[in-house]
């Protein structure tokens, strides 16, 4: 391989590859180009060319079409199919138009017919380099534009752009990521994105929820156990640590882990080694850790519930997901996204929200974040038949909460201006009364469902908090279903 050594290595000149089987011609071209600020290398065959292109990633390739081992068009096709970003200039002794057309169709940037002089070669090279420089700028600018979705996330708010950037850089590394944020802000989505964008994405992503597994089973869930390790351990079972070998272990709700296990986790994170419950053998795995919590981990440390040394071990790359109320720009984007998803899922005609409903949604504080928004839209799509979501289709608590809040800037994101404080209500007709007044059974249903949700689906607990018996909830559910089917029937008969 000939190399022009006129360019000092530290200025990182662009690489140019010359593919030419005639050595005296190759020498001539190297001579022609020696004053150009490029790192020029030369190969004489098609297979050498493919290796050099793959390994060196040249910006520009001068490609002779008649090579001893293959036709240059084959190399051109391979460059196109593999999406290799190189500007190819085809060089041939055949001046026929059809060869030029074929090469350009196959993706060549330019075409040189032998023999050519120094000036023609230099101008062609400079044009190609300029084109590469411009397309690199375009790519960079494209990358700098705010993204409105990213690896499972929907939203283009400034605060989410920062999150996307950290995910992008952190995904490449093995460093532990600690994801914090209120409930429903997307911590699990974040963990998946980190894994999917990482070089480990062909290995398992193993999530383990430290709040959902009883404490006495947690150690075995993470590290596995051997037969007879405890009552009920009838056979050897490997844990999440082993299953995640080579991949990612996602420890969700990590602040719920008890003190003993925190000590074992610390050692596992420090050394990659652990013992299954009841086993004397130490196992070693290669795992990337992602942890999440909806608590403030530092408050947990201060309160003595979370080991400080473990906190520092985990807190290598912190990602804090902002609450939805701080992502104003994203609320309507998410609303429209979920309308599209659920309308398709349910076979409904919904396609947007009315400006009034948009105002209600924008004025609400979303304590349950994206999960709550998702549920609100899903409910509206399931329960009603229309093209546009109206305020009456939203849970009463949202409309009420929005009504109680000081309105935000008028006209925000397509919503109409809020009523001025001095405005009086216009006389209200029957139709809008029925839209504005929420029947008691609906309020009761929403309060009950919210209580059940807050109690993690435990009806008995929810009933205790509501001051009624669980059987009352079951009975009421039957009557609410009847009310809802009456509503549907009434809506159909009025069509």
Ligand X SMILES: Nc1ncnc2c1ncn2[C@@H]1O[C@H](COP(=O)(O)OP(=O)(O)OP(=O)(O)O)[C@@H](O)[C@H]1O
> How do strand 273-275 and strand 282-284 relate by DSSP bridges?
antiparallel
Q: Is 385 helix (H, G, I), strand (E, B) or coil?
A: coil
Q: Is 186 among the residues that bind ligand X (CB under 6 A)?
A: yes
Q: Which residue is nearest to Mg ion (CB)?
A: 188
Selection from Mg ion, ligand X, none that 395 binds (CB < 5 to 8 A by kind) is none
> How do strand 282-284 and strand 205-209 relate by DSSP bridges?
unpaired
Q: Which residue is nearest to ligand X (CB)?
A: 186
256's CB contacts (< 8 A; 6+ apart) are 210, 211, 293
How many residues in the shown chain lie near Mg ion by CB under 5 A?
2
Alpha-carbon distance of 80 to 69, in angstroms, equals 20
Q: Is 205 among the residues that bind ligand X (CB under 6 A)?
A: no
Q: Is 326 among the residues that bind Mg ion (CB under 5 A)?
A: no
Please say which residue, 193 or 463, places its beta carbon nearer to ligand X. Answer: 193
Q: Is 176 among the residues that bind ligand X (CB under 6 A)?
A: no
Phi, psi of 282 (to 5 degrees): -90, 130
Alpha-carbon distance of 427 to 379, in angstroms, equals 31
Please provide the DSSP assignment of 417-478 as one string. PPPPTTPPPPP--HHHHHHHSPPHHHHHHHHHHHHHHHTTT-HHHHHHHHTS-HHHHHHHHH
Q: Is 188 among the residues that bind ligand X (CB under 6 A)?
A: yes
Please say which residue, 72 or 297, places its beta carbon nearer to ligand X. Answer: 297
Alpha-carbon distance of 93 to 61, in angstroms, equals 17
Site for ligand X, residues 385 to 404, rule: CB under 6 A: none
Please say which residue, 291 or 361, places its beta carbon nearer to Mg ion. Answer: 291
- Which residues share a beta bridge with 277? 225
Please say which residue, 109 or 218, places its beta carbon nearer to ligand X. Answer: 218
Pick from 264, 295, 313, 371: which binds ligand X (CB under 6 A)?
371
| Chain position carrying tokens 């509501």 | 466
Q: Is 178 among the residues that bind ligand X (CB under 6 A)?
A: no
Site for Mg ion, residues 238 to 297, rule: CB under 5 A: none
| Chain position carrying tokens 């790359």 | 317
Q: Is 247 among the residues that bind ligand X (CB under 6 A)?
A: no
The 8-class DSSP code of residue 94 comes to: -
Hey, what are 488's tokens?
Answer: 């549907």
Pick from 62, 374, 380, 392: which binds ligand X (CB under 6 A)?
374
CB of 391 to ligand X, least distance (A): 23
Please say which residue, 26 or 358, places its beta carbon nearer to ligand X. Answer: 358
Binding segment for ligand X (CB under 6 A), chosen from 33-41, 182-190, 238-246, 347-355, is 182-190
Residue 38 CB coordination number (10 Å): 20
How many residues in the shown chain lie near ligand X by CB under 6 A?
16
Q: Is residue 320 exposed (0-12), middle (13-18) or buried (19+ Cβ within 10 Å)? A: middle
Q: Is residue 437 exposed (0-12), middle (13-18) or buried (19+ Cβ within 10 Å)? A: exposed
C-beta of residue 150 within 8 angstroms of C-beta of residue 193 = yes
Binding segment for ligand X (CB under 6 A), chosen from 7-15, 93-101, 179-187, 398-406, is 179-187
Please say which residue, 43 or 189, places its beta carbon nearer to Mg ion. Answer: 189
Binding mask 181-210 for Mg ion (x = CB under 5 A): ------xx----------------------
Pick from 124, 176, 198, 294: which binds ligand X (CB under 6 A)?
294
Q: Is 207 among the residues that bind ligand X (CB under 6 A)?
A: no
Q: Is 370 among the residues that bind ligand X (CB under 6 A)?
A: yes
Pick from 13, 58, 72, 181: which binds ligand X (CB under 6 A)?
181
Q: Cα Rg for the chain, rounded, in angstroms?
A: 32
Binding segment for ligand X (CB under 6 A), chosen from 1-9, 85-93, 369-377, 389-397, is 369-377
Site for ligand X, residues 317 to 346, rule: CB under 6 A: 334
Q: Is 106 helix (H, G, I), strand (E, B) or coil?
A: coil
Q: Is residue 125 exposed (0-12), middle (13-18) or buried (19+ Cβ within 10 Å)? A: buried
CA distances from 69 to 54, 63, 91, 116, 363 (A): 18, 13, 16, 24, 69
Hey, what are 174's tokens?
Answer: 């093995």
Selection from ligand X, Mg ion, none that 18 binds (CB < 5 to 8 A by kind) is none
CB of 166 to ligand X, least distance (A): 15
Binding mask 127-166 for ligand X (x = CB under 6 A): --------------------------xxx-----------
Alpha-carbon distance of 306 to 69, in angstroms, equals 66
C-beta of residue 62 within 8 angstroms of C-beta of residue 89 = yes
- Which residues share a beta bridge with 90? 63, 111
CB of 195 to ligand X, least distance (A): 13
CB of 345 to ligand X, least distance (A): 13
- Interacting residues with Mg ion (CB under 5 A): 187-188
- Interacting residues with ligand X (CB under 6 A): 153-155, 181, 183-189, 294, 334, 370-371, 374
């Amino acid at each position: 391989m000939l190399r022009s050594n006129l360019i000092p290595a530290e200025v990182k000149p662009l690489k140019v590859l010359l593919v030419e089987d005639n050595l005296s011609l190759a020498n001539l071209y190297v001579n022609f180009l020696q004053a150009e600020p490029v790192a020029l290398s030369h190969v004489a065959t098609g297979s050498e060319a493919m290796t050099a292109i793959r390994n060196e990633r040249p910006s520009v390739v001068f490609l002779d079409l008649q090579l001893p081992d293959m036709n240059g068009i084959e190399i051109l096709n391979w460059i196109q199919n593999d999406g290799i970003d190189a500007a190819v200039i085809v060089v041939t002794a055949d001046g026929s138009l059809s060869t030029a057309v074929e090469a350009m169709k196959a993706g060549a940037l330019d075409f040189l017919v032998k023999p050519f002089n120094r000036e023609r070669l230099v101008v062609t090279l400079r044009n190609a380099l300029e084109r590469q420089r411009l397309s690199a700028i375009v790519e960079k600018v494209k990358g700098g534009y705010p993204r409105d979705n990213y690896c499972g996330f929907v939203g283009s708010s400034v605060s989410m752009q920062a999150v996307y950037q950290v995910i992008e850089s952190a995904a490449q590394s093995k460093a532990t990521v600690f994801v914090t944020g209120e409930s429903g802000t997307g911590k699990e989505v974040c963990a998946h994105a980190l894994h999917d964008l990482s070089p480990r994405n062909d290995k398992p992503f193993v999530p383990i929820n430290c709040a959902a597994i009883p404490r006495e089973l947690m150690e075995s869930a993470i590290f596995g156990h051997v037969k007879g390790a405890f009552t009920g351990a009838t056979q050897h079972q490997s844990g999440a640590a082993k299953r995640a070998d080579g991949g990612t272990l996602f420890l969700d709700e990590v602040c719920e882990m008890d003190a003993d296990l925190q000590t074992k986790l610390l050692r596992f994170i420090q050394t990659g080694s652990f013992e299954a419950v009841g086993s004397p053998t130490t196992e070693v795995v290669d795992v990337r850790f992602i942890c999440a919590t909806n608590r403030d981990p530092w408050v947990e440390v201060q309160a003595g519930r979370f080991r400080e040394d473990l906190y520092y071990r985990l807190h290598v790359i912190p990602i804090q997901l902002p609450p939805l109320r701080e992502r104003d720009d994203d609320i309507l984007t998410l609303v429209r996204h979920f309308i599209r998803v659920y309308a398709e899922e349910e076979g409904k005609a919904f396609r947007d929200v009315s400006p009034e409903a948009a105002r209600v949604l924008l004025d609400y504080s979303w304590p349950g974040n994206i999960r709550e928004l998702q549920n609100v839209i899903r409910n509206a799509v399931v329960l009603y038949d229309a093209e546009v979501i109206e305020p009456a289709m939203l849970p009463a608590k949202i409309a009420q909460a929005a009504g109680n809040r000081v309105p935000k800037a008028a006209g925000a994101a397509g919503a109409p201006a809020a009523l001025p404080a001095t405005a009086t209500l216009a006389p209200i007709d029957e139709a809008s009364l029925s839209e504005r007044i929420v029947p008691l059974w609906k309020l009761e249903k929403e309060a009950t469902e919210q209580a059940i949700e807050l109690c993690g689906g435990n009806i008995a607990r929810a009933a205790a908090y509501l001051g009624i018996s669980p059987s009352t909830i079951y009975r009421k559910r039957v009557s609410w279903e009847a009310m809802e089917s009456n509503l549907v029937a009434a809506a159909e008969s009025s069509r």
